Structures are given as structure tokens and as C-alpha cells.
Structure 1
Amino acid sequence: MTTTEPVTPIEAVPAFAPAAAPATSSVSPTRRQLWRRSRWFLLSAVVLLLAGLLIAGLGGNSQYPPLDPRSPDRDGTRAVVHLLEKRGLTTRTVATEAELTAALREPGTTVVLPEPDLLTTPQLDSLSDVRRGSDSRLVLISPEAAALDAFAPGITLATVSAGLPDSVGSLSGPADCPLPEAVRAGRAELGGLLYRPGPDDIACYPRHGRYPLVRHTDAGSRELVVLGSGRLLTNDRLDDDGNASLALGLLGSRQHLVWYLPDYSGSAPATERKALTDYIPSGWSWALLQLGIATLLAAFWRGRRLGPVVSENLPVVVRAAETTEGRARLYQRAKARGHAADSLRRAARHRLAPVLGVPLSAGEPDPTALCAAVADRLDRPSADVRSLLYGTPPTDDAALLRLTDDLDALERQVRQP
């Protein structure tokens, strides 16, 4: 007569149902780890952004040349042009010689040349011929001998003993002349180059027998105004003394005001071949410099982090725990949960099969025999055991952790029923 040993009730055996994973067993990176990994990249991005903003801010101050009617800077003339427009005058800028020629031919026009001596001699002669048939007022700012010879031969540039142009600093003083615009303005701030007027010219604001303001009148109503400096027209000095009144009088005597603003830097001659670098905008040089510095800093940072190369004698003994941890980290970085689950299940099957007496065939136990043996040992449904040992891969890290805990619980129950 055979006797059977009492079987431990199922309720007394710890179930291999999913166990609650400890809070510290998560493989997802923490906030502290994310911050430590990304802080240097964020710092580099902030430094590059600040450097770009600084360079852009510094480069924006020279947007307009001096005496530009569009410029709100201290040396611009936007204020006087705005006042003239409020009086009903029309104002515009021209940038080509053809547009300047057309403006000189228009009736009722005041044309301002801020830098007349930058024009070539043929250009000055051509404009002088055009102006003979017009009734415009031409305002020359700081002209020298070439421009005076072309437009007003009677006015000469005052010189010092060495033959250099005579000039004085801007100084407020009385007009001392019958010019209506100067009489209304009274004291005004003039200076710059000084001139000697012709017999029929009106000269104002004298400086030791020489003048920074001269008006020359040709036949008819054609007028030429010579200013030694455009300082009184600027936004910074317009509200001093009678500068505003004098500026409005000199520039507002006609219905239309035209300001000549060419690109004096000029383009290369048509016969000159341009290099490839000539077509690259100037701002790209700063961008390339920033990229080069960032590359050097990144190389220095990574080089210091990796450290020098260390020689190691072979063969090297690597502990199994280190190999397992390294492989697990590779799986984690690649998000290969399926491969990790397969490795865990395969190892569990290989450990369970000898305990239950299931032979290995081609390196693997028979799935049906193994699941039946486990189910018979624990008195559990075979389908549950198969789902655990041969189931689908987990979909997230939490499911992978639950699978690990379930496999551990299953092995403990099989070994210690």
C-alpha cells in the first residue's frame, strides 16, 4: 500500500503573480541624471545665444551713415526731415546719378549733397551742366575745391599757411548777414570748413573774415548754398539756439526735398572677376568663428572626459556581474525590451528544466513538457505557465520589471514547493 505525502495547500504557497516593484527599481533616468547629462549642452547653447545677441547688438549701431534723413541716431537728420514733412513738403532719397540728374531738373526742388567731393570729376561736370537749366536750390555740405569749381567757381575754399583747408569747431554765433533764413534764425551753431565768398554772394556767421555759410545765386532763381558742416542739421543739435529755424529755412525753400545717398563704397568694375568669397555675406564670418570656437570647446571637453589611453595586459578577467550589467545597460539604451525578456525567460527555462527532470533538446527543453511539469509541480494551469515562460515581449519598463519578479517567484516556488 502506497502512501502519499500531504501536499501543501496552494493558498500557503506564495503565488508567482505580478509583484509590486519597489520604487527604487525603475530603470528610467531620474531628473537628477537628466540634468547631469544635459547641463553642459544647455550651458553651451546659452553662451552661444548670448554671444550671438551681443554681436548682433553691436553690429546694429552703424546701420545708417552720418546725416542720413532716415537715421534716428544722434548724427542722423530724421528730425529735420520730419519737421519739413509736417509743413507739407515732400521728401525722398535718391541713390543713382540718373535719379540725381532728374531731381536737379525738377522745378521747385531742393537737392542736398552731403559728400559732394566723393563724386568723380566727370560726374561733377555732368551735374553742373544739368543744373544750368533748372531753378532748384542745391545744398552742398562740406564741399572742397573740386565741387566748388564745378558748381560755384566764385566761392573758394579758405586755406591755412600749409595749403590745407581751414576749418573751425562748431560754435554758436550771430548771423551778421542779410540772408532771410539766417536773420530769422539769429544765433546758430556753425563750423567746419570755411569759405571766401564771391562778389555777389551772401556769407553768414563770420569766423575771422571767413564763413561757414555762403549762398550763391545764378541767373534767375537758381541758388547754391554751401555749408561748412552739417552738424546743425543733426538730431543731436537741432534744438540748440536757432539751428532748427536755419535748417528749415535752408532746406524748406522749395516744395520738394531730395537727399542724395549713393553707395560710395561702390561695386567692383565689370571687368574684375569676383572670387567665391566675395558672394559670402559679412555676417557669416562671425557665425563661422562662433562655430569654430564651439567645436574647439566641445573637443576639449570630450577629450578631458575620456582621459588618456590606458594599456592593459591580455587576457583580461571580467567578472560576470560586470558583463551582465553592461549588457543590461545596452538593452536599456536601445530600448530592446523584447531581447531582454527573451534572455530572462531562456535563463529561467534552462534553470528549471534540470530541477524538473525535463531533458534539453538542441539546447532548449520541450515547451509542452516543461510547462506541464511546472504546472503539475505547482498545481497551476499550464496556460499561465506558458504565458510566463513563452509569452509576448513586454511593452514598457514596468512590464519588464513585473516579468522579472514573476520569473524569480516561479523559480523559488519550483525549487521550494
Structure 2
Amino acid sequence: MTGTSTAPTGAQLWTRTRGFLAALAVLLVGSIALAGLQSGTHHGHLDPRSADPYGSRALAELLTERGVTSQVVTTAREAADAAGPGTTLVVTAPDLLGDSQLRAVRAAIDLSGGRTVLVGPGGPTLPRLAPGARTGGTAHQDRLDPGCALPAARTAGRAGTGGDHRYTTDTTDTTGATACYPSDGNPTLLVLPTATPGGDTVLLGSDTILLNRSLAEEGNASLALQLLGSRPKLVWYLPSPADTAPAGDDPDDKSLLELVPAGWGWALLQLLVAATLAALWRARRLGPLVTEELPVAVRASEAAEGRARLYRKAGARDRAATVLRAATRERLAALVGVPAGRAHTPEVLVPAVSVRLRDGAHDVTTLLFGPTPADDAALVALADHLDALEREVRTS
């Protein structure tokens, strides 16, 4: 007899998988296209290599034309090593730094003798990087007038330094500080002298004047060029994910999962949702059972023999004896008029069967409800006695 193969054909496999392959192809093409569009033009916020609206490439190129060389570093140690008397260090995200990074930047401020520009430092960071300065709330106005004698501010005039932080000072710790661009009485630009002669720290409450999108507005370009171009070398400190931690935490004490950037968590969540939707799309639909013709007809005797061999291989004499006795009880119940629901009740079935037998011919209770046979020979004997009991009842 020639068997019928149940393996899917090539056409069936293509039909089942073409939707998934098409979606995968679209995803790959989109990823490659997006990477190509972003390559070379986008690095990140306040990145001097980035030409997107929130980058600072325009400012970096203007500074280069004026003879200022730029360098990008991604760790606090590199930033501290690059700082010096002829260097301006721009810390683009001070509030993301951990304890060890804050210590390194603070050491550069105290010892370098150069200028350090802190962009938007908040309450947790200021005590570490600029003692004596505190945040004074939010500046509700975006464009402000200088309101001070700082030459860079007077030359630039009105600029977009508002919108974010305002600062206040403790005069006992910030003697010689210059407060500019006030909003409601508190400055949004604060210049603090450092312990090393010639050095200073600039607290810039907003990053607006450094961004490509707003550099040409008001006096933003003039103010940014003077603040960042006062030294021949400019170092942009762009903290990398591995180099950042919330203020007050040490990255060395973090677990691997805690060091993973938050963006990766959202990406994994999106992948999980996509995988769930794909599984629901391709999963077998639940519905009523349907009968299918078997490719090969199996005789009942073969199925019984196969099951018996499994029982024997597993040594399941208890299960085999139970099946034999249950089947015999059901057939005997039909012969003696016992309802099917009472066929397995000794008090009902045994008396009904006993009246059909010769006195003492069989121990009906032991045969139908007795213990498990001790060995294979006893199991075979039980099967024979059950057959004999059923034959006698039929012929009585």
C-alpha cells in the first residue's frame, strides 16, 4: 500500500510564510534607509557634529572659522584630562552625571584655570559643581536683556537665555560673581570665579543659544561665540550612557540592567508587542473540533495489541487489570439487566451476576473487584477467568 505524505509542499510553505517574510523585508529596508538618512548628520543633543535642529554644528563651525579647535569627549575622565588654562569645557548634561563624574568635573573646575560652561545644571548638581549657587525657579520668559556689565552680554544684547533655570547666589561663597539676563530678579546666566586665577564657571540656564535652530535669533550667536570662544581650545563633554548615572549614585554599584539606557527598555517593549501580535496573527484559530480522515486505517486489534505492549513495557499490571475488569463489568451489566451507571458498584452487580452462575463456580467479587495481579502470569490468568465468567453468564 502506498502511503500518503502529510509533509507540507513548497507551495504551502510559501503561502504560510510569505506574509512574515514580506513584513521582515519591509522592516529591514526601513531600518537601512533610516540609518542612511541619519548617517553623518545626526549624533545627538548639543553635539557639535550634529546638523539637526537640536545639535550644535553651526556654532562649532563658526568657532572653527575664528581659530577655536573643538574636541568631543564622552567620559568625565577624558574631560578632566583635556581641561587646562587655554580650554573651555562645555558640560552638556551635568544633571546626568554620577558621583565619580561630578568629582572629576569639579577637579577640572578647581585646577584647570580655564572656563567651564555648565548647560542647565539643576538643584542636585549645583552644590557639587558650583557651591554657593542655587536654582531660583523657572524663567518664564524666553528672551531676556543682559542687565549686567559682562562684556559678552553687553555686546550680544537681548538673547534667548530664559525658559529653563534661574539662579541665586550666596554672597559669602560667590564673591565676584556676575549675574546676567535676569528674569523676575534672578539671573539665567551666572559667571563664577574659580580658586585658580584666570578660571571661571558659567552657569547657563538654557541651551537655546547653543542650538542650530535658534542660533540666528536675537543675540544668541554673539553670546554663544563669546562664551565658548574665549579660549583657543573648546572641549564638548557629551556624557555617554555608560558614563552617566543619576546624581548621588555611583555607576560602579549599578547592576548591568540598571546601566542599560532607558531607550533600550522601550525598544524591547515594542519588540515584545510586535512578537505577541505576530504570534496571534499566525496562531491556529480556536474553534469546534473537526474530523479528519486518517491517511492510514488501523485495525482495532492492532491498536489493542499496541496498547497492551505499552502496558507490558511500563509494567502497568494495575492499569491493565483495571481496564480488563471495567470492560467485563460493563458487558456483564448489559447481560444481567443492571443499569450502566451501576455497573461498577459491587453491591448491585455481584448479586445480579451470581444468580446466573452455578454455585461456587467463580469468586465473582474477587474477579471483578479484586486486587492487582502480582505478576504477568497472574494477569493472564485473570484475563482467562474473566472470559470464562462472561461466557458462562451468556450461556446461562
With structure 1 as the length reference, what TM-score do the two structures score?
Answer: 0.53
For the 8 Å contact 1:69–1:81, the answer to whether it is kept is yes
Q: Structure 1 residues 223 and 46, CA, compared in 2 at 3 Å: closer, same or farther?
A: same
For 2:150, the equivalent position in structure 1 comes to: 179
Cα-to-partner distance string for 1:264-310 (whole Å, 9 max, x where unaligned):
455996787869xx9xx987887787677667656659x99xx9653
Change (3 A) 1:118 1:309: same
Residue 242 of structure 1 corresponds to: 219
Does 1:75 pair with 2:51? no
Q: Determine the structure 1 residue equivalent to 2:67.
A: 88
- From 202, 221, 245, give the equivalent of 2:198: 221
Residue identity opposite 2:81 in structure 1: A
Show CA shifts across 1:68-105 (max 9, x none). 2232222221221122122221111112232122122x
The amino acid across from 1:107 in the alignment is P
Question: Which 5+ residue runs of structure 1 have no aligned equivalent?
Answer: 1-33, 159-165, 316-417
CA distance in 1 between counterparts of 2:105 and 2:268 reads 39
**CA contact 1:110–1:256 (8 Å) conserved in 2:** yes
Alignment of 1:63-212 (within 5 A): 64-104=43-83, 106-121=84-99, 123-158=101-136, 166-169=137-140, 171-191=142-162, 192-197=164-169, 198-212=174-188
Confirm or deny: 8 A CA contact 1:48 1:290 kept in the other structure.
Answer: no
Q: Distance in 2 between matches of 1:117 and 1:83?
A: 27
Letter matched to residue 98 of structure 2: T
CA distance in 2, matches of 1:167, 1:273: 35
Q: Which runs of 5+ in 2 are unaligned?
A: 1-9, 298-396
Measured at CA, do residues 247 and 295 of structure 1 come closer, stay the same or move farther in structure 2, by a change above 3 Å?
A: same
Deviation (angstroms), 1:238: 0.9
Distance in 2 between the 1:108 and 1:66 partners?
A: 25
The number of residues matched between the two structures is: 267
Q: Structure 1 pair 169/67, CA: closer, same or farther in 2 (3 Å)?
A: farther
The answer to whether the 8 A contact 2:146-2:180 is kept is yes
The structure with the largest alpha-carbon Rg is 1
| Higher RCO (C-alpha under 8 Å, 6+ residues apart) | 1
Aligned in 2, Cα 1:195/1:39: closer, same or farther, shift over 3 Å? same
Distance 2:254 2:177 in 1: 46
Alpha-carbon distance change, 224 to 300 in structure 1, aligned in 2, over 3 angstroms? same
Instruction: After TM superposition, list the pairs within 5 Å mapping 1:271-350 onto structure 2.
Output: 309-311=291-293
**What whole-Å deviation, never above 9, does each CA across 1:350-387 have from its counterpart, x for those lacking one?**
xxxxxxxxxxxxxxxxxxxxxxxxxxxxxxxxxxxxxx
TM-score under structure 2 length normalisation:
0.55
1:388-399 → structure 2 map (5 Å cutoff): none
Q: Percent identity, please.
A: 32
Structure 2 vs 1, CA of residues 128 and 294 (structure 1 numbering), >3 Å: closer, same or farther?
Answer: closer
